[in-house]
Amino acid sequence: MIPPFSATRAILRKRQGGSHPPGEIGEFIRGFVEGRIADYQMTAWMMAVYFSGLDRRETAELTRAMLESGRRLERWDEGPPVIDKHSTGGVGDKVSIALAPLAAACGLRVPMISGRALGHTGGTLDKLESIPGYRTKLDGGEFRRIVNEIGCSIAGATEDLVPADRRMYALRDVSGTIESHPLIVSSIVSKKAAARLDGLVLDVKVGHGGFAPDHASAHRLARRLVEVSTDMGIATVATLTAMADPLGRCVGNALEIREAVELLRGESRSAALLQVCLDLTARMLSVAGLADDTAARGLVERALSDGTGLDRLGRMIAAHGGDADVVEAPARVLPRAARIEGLEAAEEGWIQSIDARELGEIVIDMGGGRRRAVDVVDPSVGIELLVDRGDRVAPGAPIAVLHLPSGFDEAAVAARLRAAIHIGPDRPPPDPAVLETISIEP
């Protein structure tokens, strides 16, 4: 006789390192969504998963249960391929904001359901909401209309789209379970399956600025993401990209919007940011079968150089109710911090590294992220770097600009930032931004 379902028994089973029998995870998720399982029980189970893990079968069952917790988007009409990209999260990662319009300009439909800041990493929705008027909450019909008419839309999940993920996501952010690979996989893939994609490109960050601190850990996460996405019927490729240093020159919501606009205007000051954006967009075209890797890169570079990517961004922002003038005059449109102060180098040498995680933590402490689910984000604060890894600096040379809230301790922030920018006597070796690509046969 099969015993009746017990949330406590499921929590203890996983805490003790056991495997859930088929159906138990699904019952747990249904109970959580229906209110029969409390937030504290879900948090206890996720902590058990953090330490004991889930195998491929369990992760796929969790993903399906989360997908089935709400509705899915209606099937897409005939037309351009429906392809999306998702990042596992990093500091300064504003790629989606430039990539989605570039991909649309190259002939794809990109229905990007994004999230908010998680731990020390930024959230695409928080960044977009720094644009006056931009709405991240759309109903399914409006979302589909924008994707079909413009080619891309970046919005949050609706209340009835994968509701289990929305509630679990908030609990992960405040319970120390963010880095759990099975929870990362199920969160990402359930939302992408709900969007009924033809294909998916995953950007898995490698380094302590993300949630996979080393190459081996990132490779395992990427492979499981590809496996479960493939199990869900989505053609998927994962790319490993570097996340020890911040991606780009800016960390902070409004600053990152400005930097994404600069990229689309052909004014990017970060070679790594440009490389990652072009590479991932090209892979989306390859996954869609529109072009091989070499031809795809050429198509993306053309959309960048001829301004069609920038035009699509402006049209998308306007369709979401935002001030599309941001693509022409970001400094005028975006919110400005109460205080802006420069930071100078205290010693001579070469920039060895810039601690991405510490920069993310600094911006959170300034109000640019969340410590609690209810925290309000200040979109204007952040850090603007004036140097990259491998640059040479002299004492007194400007290395950063601090965008501070009113009354904040500038000296403390400056000391933390100086400590996070490591300067040494020797020039560091090159550090590629794109590290590896992973795919499997369906």
Token output for 239: 């790319």
Catalytic entry in 13, 14, 64, 85 = 85
Catalytic entry in 84, 173, 279, 311 = 84
84: annotated active-site residue: yes
Catalytic entry in 124, 239, 241, 286 = 124
85: annotated active-site residue: yes
Token output for 53: 């893990």
Catalytic entry in 187, 268, 286, 380 = 187
State the Cα–Cα distance between residues 117 and 371, nearest whole angstrom: 10
Query: Beta strands 250-251 and 152-155: pairing type?
Result: unpaired
Catalytic entry in 14, 94, 181, 192 = 192
Evaluate the CA torsion angle 312, 316, 319, 325 in order and state its sign: negative
403: annotated active-site residue: no
Catalytic entry in 20, 86, 120, 224 = 86
- Beta partners for residue 155, in sequence order: 113
219: annotated active-site residue: no
220: annotated active-site residue: no
- The packing angle between helices 253-264 and 95-105, to 10°, is 30
Residue 115 main-chain phi, psi, to 5 deg? -125, -175
Q: DSSP states of 125-189 as a string?
A: HHHHTTSTT------HHHHHHHHHHHSEEEEPPPTTBSHHHHHHHHHHHHHT-TT-HHHHHHHHH
124: annotated active-site residue: yes
Catalytic entry in 191, 249, 312, 370 = 191
208: annotated active-site residue: no
Catalytic entry in 172, 283, 370, 403 = 172
Tell me, what DSSP letter sits at residue 350?
E
- Return the percent helix, strand and coil in the chain, to nearest 5: 45, 15, 35
Least Cα distance to 362 among 175, 248, 209, 176 occurs for 209
State the Cα–Cα distance between residues 252 and 244, nearest whole angstrom: 17
- Assess contact for 234 and 383: CB atoms under 8 A: no
State the Cα–Cα distance between residues 93 and 253, nearest whole angstrom: 10
Q: Which residues are marked as active site?
A: 84-87, 124, 172, 187, 191-192
